[in-house]
Structure 1
Amino acid sequence: MATETEIKLSLSAAAAQRLLELPLLAASERSTKLLRNTYYDTADRRLQRERIVVRYRQHGRQWLLGVKTAPPLAAGLAQRGEWEAPGRAGEFDFAHVDDVAVRELLESLRDELQPVFTTRFRREAHVLAPRSGVRIEVALDRGRIEAAGRRQSIREVEIELLSGSLSDLFAVALDLQAGVPMHPEAGSKSERAYRLLDAAPLLAVKAQPVAVQADMPTMDAFRLIAVACIGHLQANEQGVRDSEEAEFVHQARVAIRRLRSAIRLWEPLLPEAFVARFDPLWQALATQLGDNRNWDVFRAETMPVLAEVFAGTVDGARLASRVRGRCARYRRESRRALQSEDYSRLLLDFSAALVDLPVSPAGRLADFVPRCLGKRARRVNERAAAPLQTDVAARHRLRVAFKQLRYGLEFFSPLLAGPLLTDYHQSATALQEMLGRLNDLAVATQLVAAALPAASRVEVQAWLAAQTAALLPEFARLLDDFQQRLPPWQPPERPAGERSRSRQPAYSL
């Protein structure tokens, strides 16, 4: 089996022409070819569900049957199995696929395969040899996808590692991006073709579980989680850019928050320069999206209540107009942020830095998890000792610490088992929802000052303060309940004098 390792970057028509004029490419020999591809699947899209691609590629008079495994892209990087052999279009001989499970699946579906969409594009390729032992192909593809009578343009660069290391691959990608604005692509041609085929509405994407394993090196787990967070963010990029739906901004912000939490969880093991460089950049982006999210929440949840409660004293139409204006302003800023060259560079820079992280000296993940979560739980308890009933800033600090603990629980959930995790997570969820409600009221108090004239804002802010006060007893109860829960990464206490029958920990790490 060959492993295809490449970075995909999208670019504008003007940037595509400039790309070919860059000295790095202009000095190398160029080959040009027209490629026609027909993709196959079953009527019920079995291959799409299994993330396997089967296609016939026509190059001149030659037909090549290709099979690829298709893991999701993150920051444009794809690493997947690839098999290719000459064939006759419409005939399927999978003898060249040396992965037994993949081959057997394809052979079982052979009679059901049918064309589902096509791609046609011109490829202009250069092979670079930046140093001895390194060969990297840079291919500019321009053409179109055709599916169910619909078309979508293709204009992207594929930078494929032929020999060398991932660091070499990213070095070339970063050099090219420095010369021409390009954005790490969030989907392969086949993924985009399936979306075009379905003509389905764009939907916000939530975080998915990360398949960490107890015996994997601790730093490998960080890379895996960080890549998943980038994938979550990029899955919502188009929605932020093209949709008015608030959930896209929310999910993009959650993705960055999860990524920053992962950086904090692993901070003792990460190079100081890595944290110092990237955490402020992700924080700045999160702040931009956060302003958008705050006004979206105010518009959807707080404003209707205020308009009803203060129907006689607050001009509802004027309030709605002001809030809509703020939402539109901050939505434009979110779009600019995710369309900026700075954001495109951040995605590629961060991914390259992940590749270059040193091998962790901390051993396996199973040994890291109890120390990591224990530290976060202690920080929650320390911040819970502050005067939370009267101190809004202290509640915010508790909320930040609690989110890091909860995201840690989610990252490591495959390693934690049993009812302890269920109970702890349910209690944590209830407490986080309460902290969120209190935070929304605190933010609403600030936004009211921008949305309402001075004459009416005092009464509204007093009402918001009363709503906060009414929630504080329930908040105290939920906090106490959470603190009584036994952490799922700790073994249960045994009665005094009882000997342990086993050294096996209570958590399944």
Structure 2
Amino acid sequence: MATELELKLMVHPTCFDKAVQALDAFCVKEVNAIRQPTLNLMNGYYDTQDALLMSSGIALRVRSVNEEYIQTLKTRGVSRVGMHARGEWEWNVPTDALDFELITPDMLPSNLHNKEWQSKIGIVYRTDFERQIWLIDFAGSKIEVVCDRGEVTSPYGHDGISEIEFELKQGDETSLYQAALSLAQQVPLQVCTVSKAQRGVRLKTPIIELPDDLPEDAQHFQIGAYWYEVWLTYWEAMVHREDDSLYQEIETALLNLQNYLPNELSGKIAYLLTIPERLLDPEKPLFLSLSQDTQMGVSMLEIGRWLNLQH
């Protein structure tokens, strides 16, 4: 098993090409940065009709790439204040059919040890996207950066994919934030906690998944982390649904988060709260103006970096 540690960013489709150009320019400037071949990835995600795997924290897919097939099982893992740390197993398989013999009980939660679910499983949604890849050395760490553009489809509808992932291959996890910040200062990007698998599931069940409630004895930084996650959740929902009314929930999360940050970061929140006034354009939805502005994403990354250091 590999433990995957990644930082996922959403980028509005109108800014996607600018992000690719910035990464290419970084590769031209830096010796230890290489652009890899672009891949076209087709993925079938498997589950039962009642979403037993997803509700149990499991994503199971078969990916087709360059006429080869890869079966992957991922656990939900833990959300690290905007970062994702999760278990991942991959196997090369001869066809696009699942091989259940590869999946052992230690990879699954106890409610899936009974194999009855295997007879009820089928493809419930697909993701088809182009993946552009860069391998970079940044602040002493090796990081894989990917830009994914495409869509998720199911019988219940479709959703666009326009995102960037920074995955730590070797080194210090704080380098993920440093690398992401260097890009976010050039291109509007925002931290995203919604996986491609979750995008597929919500086509059928379009709910907003808020973080778990805090325990009564939660520490100061844990309360801050909670409101940070609420901010990220409503941000993604606002952009995904194109619903400006959800900005009220974002504003509430920011005001609460402000109480749990040091003065410098608290001041950034105060500044963020003035952005909608400055960007107000009667001809343009608020969600669009905000998602095309760099300040929101830079502050998300700076605050997320600080919160992660408190653990």
Q: By the TM > 0.5 criterion, same fold? A: yes
CA displacement, residues 90-132 of structure 1 (integer Å, 9 cap, x when unaligned)? 3332545573543871662222211100011111111112355
CA contact (8 A) 2:7 2:165 kept: yes
- Structure 2 stretches lacking a partner, 5+ long: none
Query: Counterpart of 1:350?
Result: 303
Within 1, Cα distance between the matches of 2:298 and 2:88?
A: 28
State the distance in 1 between where 2:89 and 2:110 align: 11
Displacement of 1:231 after TM fit?
Answer: 1.7
Asked if structure 1 preserves the Cα contact closer than 8 Å seen for 2:186 and 2:294, the reply is: no
Q: TM-score, normalization: structure 1?
A: 0.52
Stretches of structure 1 that go unaligned for 5 or more consecutive residues are 264-274, 292-327, 360-509
Letter in 1 for 2:86: R
Query: Separation in 2 of the partners of 1:145 and 1:107?
Result: 30
Aligned length: 297
The answer to whether 1:280 aligns with 2:288 is no
Higher Cα radius of gyration: 1
**What is the aligned counterpart of 1:24 among 13, 23, 26?**
26
- Alpha-carbon offset, residue 65 of structure 1: 1.4
CA contact (8 A) 2:227 2:257 kept: yes
Contact 2:46–2:122 (Cα < 8 Å) also in 1 = yes
| Superposition deviation, residue 351 in structure 1 | 0.8
SS of the residue aligned with 1:197?
Answer: coil
- Matching of residue 41 in structure 1 with residue 43 in structure 2: no
CA distance in 2, matches of 1:37, 1:156: 16
Partner of 2:214: 210
Q: Quote the Cα distance in structure 1 between the aligned partners of 2:287 and 2:67.
A: 48
1: CA distance between counterparts of 2:98 and 2:198? 23
Counterpart of 1:34, as a letter, is N
* Residues 125 and 140 in structure 1, CA contact (< 8 A), matched pair in contact too: yes
Identical aligned pairs, as a percentage?
Answer: 22
2:100 aligns to what SS in structure 1? coil
Contact 2:15 2:292 in 1 (8 A): no
Q: Does 1:145 align with 2:164?
A: no
Corresponding residue for residue 99 of structure 1: 106
Contact conserved, 1:177 with 1:345, CA < 8 A, in 2? yes
2:41 paired with 1:54: no
Query: Of 176, 179, 185, which residue of structure 1 is paired with 2:183?
Result: 176
Matched, 1:130 2:141: no
Preserved contact between residue 75 and residue 347 of structure 1 (Cα < 8 Å): no
Whether the aligned pair in 2 keeps the contact of 1:75 and 1:185 (CA below 8 Å) is no
Counterpart CA distance in 2 for 1:211 and 1:68 is: 27
CA distance in 2, matches of 1:233, 1:227: 10
Q: 2:179 corresponds to which letter in structure 1?
A: V
- The CA distance in 2 between the partners of 1:161 and 1:34, in whole Å, is 22
- In structure 2, the CA distance between the partners of 1:345 and 1:144, relative to structure 1 (3 Å rule), is same
Counterpart check, 1:120 vs 2:128 = yes
Structural mapping, 1:371-382, within 5 Å: none
What residue is the counterpart of 1:157 in the other structure? 164
Say which structure, 1 or 2, has more relative contact order (CA 8 Å, 6+ apart). 2
Write the distance in 2 (CA, Å) between the matches of 1:18 and 1:338: 14
Classify 1:240/1:85 alpha carbon distance in 2 versus 1 (closer, same or farther; 3 Å). closer
Deviation, structure 1 residue 337: 5.0
CA root-mean-square deviation? 3.3
Q: Deviations over 1:382-415 (max 9, x none)?
A: xxxxxxxxxxxxxxxxxxxxxxxxxxxxxxxxxx
Letter matched to residue 282 of structure 1: I
Q: CA 1:110/1:185 → structure 2, altered by over 3 Å: closer, same or farther?
A: same
Matches within 5 A, 1:459-474: none
Structure 1 residues 30 and 14: alpha-carbon distance in aligned structure 2, compared to 1, 3 A threshold: farther
| Residue of structure 2 equivalent to 1:194 | 201
Alpha-carbon distance, 1:10 to partner: 2.0
Please show how residues 360-375 of structure 1 align to structure 2 within 5 Å: none
- Report the TM-score when normalising by structure 2: 0.81
